[in-house]
Amino acid sequence: MSEGTVILAVDDSFESLSLLVELLTPAGYQVRAADSGELGLAAVAVGPPDLILLGLHMKGMGGIEVCRRLKSVEETRDIPIILLSASMDAKERVAGLQLGASDFITEPFQPEALLARVRTHLSLHRASASLARQTAVFRDANLKLQAEVAERQRAEKDLGLSLEEAERARRALLGALEDQERAAKALRASEERLRDITSSVGDWVWEVNEDGVYTYSSEKSRDVLGRAPEEIVGKRPFDFMPPDEAARVGAVFTELVAAKAPIRDLETWNLRKGG
């Protein structure tokens, strides 16, 4: 849901800011605008937004420096940042991703594509935050269980529990272990819900390992490449590109994988299953 969601648009182009406000406001987002990097940081300090659309090439403090400052502070580190630029080379992409930017959009952008990217990153951010909270609950429960077990062991050693008391302690421990298992199942369910979200968004979402091999593909691959996810996993992106295209994007892709940086908005030509 977009109601109540705050998006901060930062750019020194009045036309760009006006267009972002015109596109996002009817979609139900609360849009705040800042026409410089310095004002953007001040706006975040007043009240952190849910997502930031950040112009890359601004006079004074540029988008890379603004991104670096936001990602270096714990209070703003997790805010999704989408960088905007009329032109963006491979070094800028790598620098932005290494700093923690979530995505890139090249201007002039398509309104539908911009709204889809915004929705996707807001959904992923909310899912990640929910998973982090549940992970913290699981960790606290595990620490509590360990403390209870240690205390029970000390009590058994110091007081010499009777058989009846030892049986009660055993049942209590089993109950605690069952609680831990339930917490573990809840964590696995959260991870499955996160995968469900990636399957429901409009974009094709995928994941590669450190060798550049697909380890996950959402169902959207059927629309993009005419291939089921199981036909994608285990392959490399270059397996679905014409030779010239594979050579063109190979350097950028290899550099991103080597840097262990997220790979987003790397636009390529791909061959569908029928050629």
Query: How much is the pLDDT for 3?
Result: 63
Q: How far apart are CA 8 and CA 73, in angstroms?
A: 17
- Answer yes or no: is 179 within a domain: yes
Domain with 194 in it: 125-200
| 27 and 102 inside one domain | yes
CA 172 and chain centroid, separation: 39
Last residue of a domain, one of 200, 223, 246: 200
| 178 and 210 inside one domain | no
- Answer yes or no: is 266 within a domain: no
- With tokens 């977009």, the residue in question is 2
* pLDDT digit string, tens, across residues 36-62: 999 999 999 999 999 999 988 889 998
| 144 and 184 inside one domain | yes
- Answer yes or no: is 272 within a domain: no
- Number of structural domains (the chain) is 3
* pLDDT digit string, tens, across residues 199-211: 677 778 888 887 8
| pTM above threshold 0.85 | no
| 172 and 193 inside one domain | yes
- Answer yes or no: is 190 within a domain: yes
- Answer yes or no: is 267 within a domain: no
* pLDDT digit string, tens, across residues 117-133: 899 998 888 887 777 67
Q: How far apart are CA 195 and CA 160, in angstroms?
A: 50
- With tokens 């139900």, the residue in question is 28
- Does residue 17 register a pLDDT over 90? yes
| 15 and 58 inside one domain | yes
CATH number of 54's domain: 3.40.50.2300
What single-letter DSSP state applies at residue 109? P
- Answer yes or no: is 118 within a domain: no
- Answer yes or no: is 97 within a domain: yes
| 32 and 75 inside one domain | yes
Q: Where are the alpha helices (DSSP H) in the chain?
A: 14-24, 37-46, 63-71, 90-99, 111-159, 163-200, 221-224, 229-232, 243-258
- Answer yes or no: is 271 within a domain: no
| 13 and 98 inside one domain | yes
